[in-house]
Amino acid sequence: MAAGRLAFAFTVWLVFGSAVNGDTLTLQSDVSFNGRVNFDGRIFEVSSRFKFGTKVLKIPPDDVKKIEFNSTDFNPGGLSDTIEIYLGERPGHKPPAGVGTTPPFSPPPKPRIRVELILNAGGERRGVLSRIGRNVELAGEKHKYRRNEVRSLSLQ
C-alpha cells in the first residue's frame, strides 16, 4: 500500500512539478528558448535543458521580445543550433555582451523595462519590470504576481 502511495506521489510530482518549471523566452529576432526564466533587474537568465544537459543563457533585455509562462523547459535542438541562430553567425556581427554561457559576465546597468503582463484570470497590467523569480514583480506595486498567475509578459 505504501509503495502505491509513493508511486502516485511520484506521478503527481512528474506531471505537476514540471509544469511550474518551464517558460519560453522569445527574442526580437523571433528565436525562442525554453527553460526557467529569471530576471534580476539587469539581465535575463534562462536555465535551458538540452539533450546533453542544462545550460544557463544570459540575455540582455534589449534582445527580449516576450516571455510566456508555461510548462516547456526542454529545447529539442542542440545548443549549437539555437545559439548560432541567436548569435547570428555572420561576418562583422558581434554578439551582445554576456550572451551565451562563457563566464565571466558583468551585467549592464539596471534598465527601466516597460512591460505588459497578460494574466491567466483575464486582464492585463502595465508597469516597469522589477524582477522575475518565484514571482513576477513590477516596480512600485506591492502585489507580487505568482508565475502561475501570469500567462505572458511583453516588453515594450
Least confident range from 3-12, 14-23, 40-49, 125-134: namely: 3-12
3-class DSSP assignment, residue 28? coil
Write the burial class of residue 25 (CB in 10 Å: 0-12 exposed, 13-18 middle, 19+ buried). Answer: buried
Most confident of 43-47, 99-103, 147-151: 147-151
Instruction: With a cut of 90, say whether residue 63 has pLDDT above it.
Output: no
Whether 13 has a pLDDT exceeding 90, the answer reads no
For 64-115, the pLDDT digits (tens) are: 999 999 988 888 876 655 554 454 443 444 555 555 544 445 555 677 899 9
More confident residue, 20 or 142: 142
Task: Please check whether residue 107 is in contact with residue 131, taking contact to mean a CB–CB distance below 8 angstroms.
Answer: no
Distances (CA, A) of 155 to 17, 66, 127: 28, 6, 10
pLDDT for 135 beyond 90:
yes
Give percent of the chain above pLDDT 70: 66
Residues 74-78: contacts with CB under 8 Å, at least 24 apart: 74/22, 74/34, 74/49, 74/50, 75/33, 75/34, 75/35, 75/48, 75/49, 75/50, 76/51, 77/50, 78/50, 78/51, 78/52
- How high is the pLDDT of residue 155? 93
Residues 6+ apart with CB under 8 A from 93: 87
DSSP three-state, residue 2: helix
Higher pLDDT, 7 or 42: 42
